[in-house]
Chains A and B, each alone.
Chain A
Amino acid sequence: MHTKEVPNIADEPNTLADVGPRLRRYAAIVGGVALALALISGLFIGDGGKYLLHSYLTSYCFFLSLSLGGLFFVAVQHASRAGWSVSVRRIAEILGGNLPLMALLALPILVPVLLGNGHLYPWVDRAYLDAHPVVAQKTAWLNGWSFAGRCAVYFAIWALMARFFLNGSTKQDEQGGTELTLRMERWSPLALILFALTITCASVDLVMSLSPEWFSTIFGVYYFSGSTVGALATIIVVACLLQRAGRLTHAITVEHYHELGKLLFAFVVFWGYIAFSQYMLIWYANIPEETRYYLARQTGGAGAVVGPWAYVSLLLVAGHLLIPFVGLLSRHVKRNRKLLVGWAVWLLVFHWVDMYWLVMPSLGRPGLPFGFTDVFCILGLGGAYVAGTLWIAGDRRWIAVKDPRMSEALVFENT
């Protein structure tokens, strides 16, 4: 029962048409310059770009996951006919709208594979295949053209789904009515099934095949769980930034932050559950072909039982699960915008560390690899991502004003 007044959101600013183009230019310049610097500093290392490719892939997987998580969020809201999320759903739609840009940014990963450069994915290398007969058995799946072809399929499906939801929702801003909502609800279960299949295969291709001898059937779920944590954290941060810029000040209330905080908390636990499920089975069975993956993340590549990567692994357990678990447990934290945004930023940092932990050990260097190249890759891809997001946003509203469930979202309260 709604005893509170429905706020009037018709007159409050809800686009970034004024400051958007300027911010987009800044972001594009920062991104472009940082990517150029990353290229220079990466070539300066003198390993033929191997370090640069790994570093690029780390940050690429990070930003890709934000868009994928956004797409999942949108599809799941439609599938569950959610009312509460209508005032924040457009943020996720715009994040998902970035997926065509992510396809473009995947070229630096795909082109070396097609050119037969095995710096990133060892299975590209003929000599590696000769020395590793087990991986040679997998070449029906792991070969340059089928890899690139699959990536094209993933991005085509993702882009199609993202455009479908974003354009349908934007069109509704003008025409209103329930028809578009019903259409998106009808297709959202299929979208979720396709999403599950594609994100599983994509994470296997892009990340798991860095260690082609190793395999884990839960890997896709692992990447998905982290992606959703990242996307929810991003939605919280973007919502807060928009409100601080005077947009959507009435449309998004403490109740929406509370609800997003609950989801964030749930997916932090889900990530921990999946990460430990993967670890425990491998730890228990103790079979060399499986344990090598964790060994590389424990020894630092130098052969010692405990190396610097062990600290990164433990840091993830603490920073991606235990500390945010305690931090986000309380209702008061989730209803305090400043604290919640603080935890969202914290989790974004650790989501990046998670990607770093997935990708960088396959570099096979002693010690923890981190340097200017990594910073430039984060800034470069981050700049490109922000610019792409603002370009997708353009004159669009950051809220689905004429969604039939808008009034439900505006007076939504947690009981």
Chain B
Amino acid sequence: MNHDRPSVPETPQVVAGLLAEFDRPETLVAAAARVKAAGYRTWDCHSPFPVHGIDPAMGIRPTILPWLVVGAGTAGVLVALVMQWWTNAVDYPLNISGKPLFSLPANIPVTFELLILFSALTAFLGALALNGLPFFSNPIFSNPRFRRVTNDRFFVSISAADPAFGEEATRAFLQSLDGVAVVEPFHRPAAPPKIPAAFHIAGALAVCMACFPPLLIAYARATKSAKPRIHVWPDMDSQAKYQTQTAHPLFPDRRSMRAGVPGTVAVGRLNADERLYEGKDGEQWVTSVPVEIDAERMRRGKERYEIYCAPCHGLSGEGDGIMAQRALEREEPWVRRSLVDDYAVKLPVGSIFNTIRHGKNTMLPYGAQVPPADRWAIVLYVKALQRAQNATIDDVPEELRDKLQ
């Protein structure tokens, strides 16, 4: 016994329980029923594979794990919904294209993921906890016969901690079981083994080291520093290139940001036609659209307008877009900007073009999203809206006037 662990025999051993060995799963199930009937409490069955029917034979009640998983899954759903509702609709509400602040379809993916996460973690950790794992050392392994439990033998073990345990009586009982091959004790050290001092030192060191990160974080939060922050993984932050507002050793003025060489134009950037690209004629806004006007361009303008402009200015140009509607609902400050009132009607087309390109007041620039040709198409469509919204009966073709009456 214990021939491969020479240090163990030196410590005095006491009996920790008795093992009964069987060679068939059927006899194990029958034996389990008898052990249970004999009134033992602290005992177990061991087998190389799950044996059907062992749970009722041992009197093991169905696990409560499913209920824990259902509870955790429900909690995951609630946490996800409340978190998304609070962050999006309460703590930091942002009006994005007039979309609702809290909207179930958008929140389903996170809700689904947290349902899965909470359920899976609970199932995994719950299974460990309910089985009393991790369990680092079991005295049952002191009996070398027990090694065959992973191969072709089946065991019943009764612990000496069981109130009904008596070494001789229990041994006689186990030997009376049908199909039992051998009954042997297994041992544990009489006194719990001492933990070596090196383990205490290593543990204390580990605890000290573990205090450093939270202390550093707390220090950093409480103080101010002129130095750049610590880069733990600097690969994306520090790239080998000159960035804006940094010094450059090559140029006399030491600036890394350079203006283009005077008198040169980058390929494809020669926007020489000032009327087309600036909407200007000298110092004046152009008053006529410098592109060809046809039905195709009008259609294009309508399409682009409804994508980029309608969320705020509204489909009819009256400034009643979904952004304005939402802002009104929530009593947020909002300046409603009509494109079809007297002021807008009098604006030269070049000025409208310029506003699309550079923005104005609270309106952001759309020059990056809308190329010049499309800007003019939108201007055309805005002029059409102005015409339509300020139309008189004379503008309606005669044959259609009857329908209006």
Contact = CB atoms under 8 A, between A and B. Distances in A.
Interface stretch (B105-113, B134-142, B204-212): B105-113
A6 to B, nearest CB: 13
Contact of A3 (B29, B66, B70, B105): B29
B52 A4 contact: yes
Nearest to A414: B52
A278 to B, nearest CB: 12
B50 interface: yes
12 contacts: A1-B25, A1-B49, A1-B52, A3-B25, A3-B51, A4-B53, A276-B108, A280-B108, A284-B105, A329-B70, A330-B66, A415-B52
Interface of B: 25-26, 29, 49-53, 66, 70, 105-106, 108-109
A3 B106 contact: no
Contacts of A290: none
Contacts of B49: 1
Contact of B53 (A3, A284, A330, A331): A3
Contacts of A2: 52
A415 B70 contact: no
B105 A279 contact: yes
Contacts of B52: 1-4, 413, 415
A283 interface: yes
Contact of A284 (B26, B50, B106): B106
For the complex of A and B, list the 8 residue pairs with the smallest distance between their C-beta atoms, beginning with the closest. Answer: A283-B105, A413-B52, A415-B50, A3-B52, A1-B25, A1-B49, A280-B105, A3-B53
Interface residues of A, number: 14
B66 A331 contact: yes
Contacts of B51: 1, 3
Contacts of B29: 3
A279 B106 CA distance: 11
A283 B70 CA distance: 30
Contacts of A279: 105
Nearest to B28: A3
Of listed B26, B52, B53, residue having the most chain A CB within 10 A: B52
Contacts of B109: 280
Interface in A1-30: 1-4
Contacts of A276: 105, 108
Nearest to A411: B52
Contacts of A331: 66
Interface string A270-288: 0000001001100110000
Contacts of B53: 3-4
A225 B52 CA distance: 34
Interface string A97-137: 00000000000000000000000000000000000000000
Contacts of A415: 50, 52
B66 A1 contact: no
Interface string A324-335: 000001110000
B396 to A, nearest CB: 25
Contacts of B105: 276, 279-280, 283-284
A280 to B, nearest CB: 5
Given A1-B49, A3-B53, A284-B106, 5 more contacts: A1-B25, A3-B25, A4-B53, A279-B105, A415-B52
Nearest to A280: B105
Nearest to B97: A286
Contacts of B25: 1, 3
B150 to A, nearest CB: 14
B110 to A, nearest CB: 12
A38 to B, nearest CB: 38
A394 B140 CA distance: 61
Contacts of A329: 70
A253 to B, nearest CB: 13
B117 to A, nearest CB: 16
Interface in A239-286: 276, 279-280, 283-284
Interface in A199-220: none
A283 B106 CA distance: 9
Contacts of A1: 25, 49-52
Interface in A329-378: 329-331
Nearest to A287: B307
B65 to A, nearest CB: 11
Given A329-B70, A331-B66, A415-B50, A3 B26 contact: yes
B279 to A, nearest CB: 31
A330 B108 CA distance: 23
A361 B63 CA distance: 48
A283 B133 CA distance: 46
A2 to B, nearest CB: 7
B84 to A, nearest CB: 14
Contacts of B66: 330-331
A330 B53 CA distance: 21
A18 B51 CA distance: 41
A2 B53 CA distance: 10
A280 B111 CA distance: 14
Nearest to B108: A276
Nearest to B70: A329
A180 to B, nearest CB: 30
Nearest to A276: B108
Nearest to A273: B112
A415 B106 CA distance: 38
Nearest to A326: B70
A410 to B, nearest CB: 14
A328 to B, nearest CB: 13
Nearest to B26: A3
A279 B104 CA distance: 12
Contacts of A284: 105-106
B278 to A, nearest CB: 33
B352 to A, nearest CB: 26
B283 to A, nearest CB: 42
Nearest to B69: A329
Nearest to A279: B105
A415 B55 CA distance: 11
B54 to A, nearest CB: 9
Interface in A64-119: none
A102 to B, nearest CB: 35
Nearest to B103: A283
Nearest to A288: B306
B298 to A, nearest CB: 18
B192 to A, nearest CB: 37
Contacts of A4: 52-53
